[in-house]
Amino acid sequence: MGACSPMSIVMNVTFKAQDDKYQTLYDTLVAILPDTAARDGAELISCAANPEDKSFEIHEVWDTIENQQAYLQWRTDRGDVDALVALLREPPTFDLREHLSY
């Protein structure tokens, strides 16, 4: 069994698409998540899509909160955050947790 690495963080993000924007959001996430995975400090990026309720759960593991925040600032500066929010029926939710891996 490996050592616990409590320095990493997990960010779970939920997006709920407008009914007529589900496919656009789907296509956008498919296009941009590889860039997310390539950012400094990204350890794991995965996304689950639910077409029934038009939602997405993005699971991110980052080596530090600073790298996750730098990533989010980069997305904000590029205008990606505003573009994503425009496709949603409600604001996204963010759930930050300490990552424990063994």
Give me the pLDDT at residue 1, please.
38
14's tokens: 């939920």
Architecture of the domain delimited by 9-98: 2-Layer Sandwich (3.30)
Q: Compute the CA torsion angle 69, 70, 73, 74 (nearest 10 deg).
A: -140
Give me the pLDDT at residue 7, please.
77
Tens of pLDDT along the chain (102 residues) come to 344 445 799 999 999 999 999 999 999 999 999 999 999 999 999 999 999 999 999 999 999 999 999 999 999 999 999 999 999 999 999 999 999 877
